[in-house]
Amino acid sequence: MTVSEGGSSRWTFLTHHARVLMEIARHPDATMRDIAAAIGITERAVHGIINDLHQAGYLSRERVGRRNHYRIHPDQHLRYPTEAAFPVSRLIEVFADHDLAEHPHQRDDRMRTPQDVDRPG
């Protein structure tokens, strides 16, 4: 647990793995640098997390020129036993709804819904 300057602990409900997954859902063509900057972790950490997510079957990656295009597998279930009944699409839905509420005029290819995340762009 990290303690901030004021003496209170700093923690969040979502892991970096969840945050990387959400950023990829929003921007499937994002670079690791873009993802790292968006969530505030290192590129090296993003690289490891993407490898974890890929190996666990949560996403696939396709090389497009010099970049990767990521595709989330929304039917893959969450890992922790108490949430294992829920597909990852449920997590994505929560944050896709949040993003749309904040920016309703920006619904474009970058703001994909769970129904869109497994379809080619």
Domain of 102, CATH number, reads 1.10.10.10
pLDDT at 120 over 60: no
Give the pLDDT mean for 13-34.
94
Of residues 45, 3, 2, the one with CA closest to residue 20: 45
pLDDT at 114 over 80: no
Asked if residue 115 is part of any domain, the answer here is no
pLDDT at position 96, please? 76
Asked if residue 7 is part of any domain, the answer here is no
Query: Where is pLDDT greater, at 116 or 33?
Result: 33
Handedness of CA 80, 35, 73, 52 (dihedral sign): negative
Asked if residue 53 is part of any domain, the answer here is yes
Of residues 34, 40, 13, the one with CA closest to residue 95: 13
Which pTM was predicted? 0.74
Domain that holds residue 18: 14-106
How many distinct structural domains can be found in the chain? 1
Is 5 strand, coil or helix?
Answer: coil
Query: Where is pLDDT greater, at 63 or 102?
Result: 63
| Contact assessment for residue 72 and residue 96, using Cβ atoms and an 8 Å cutoff | no
CA gap 79, 88 in Å, rounded: 9
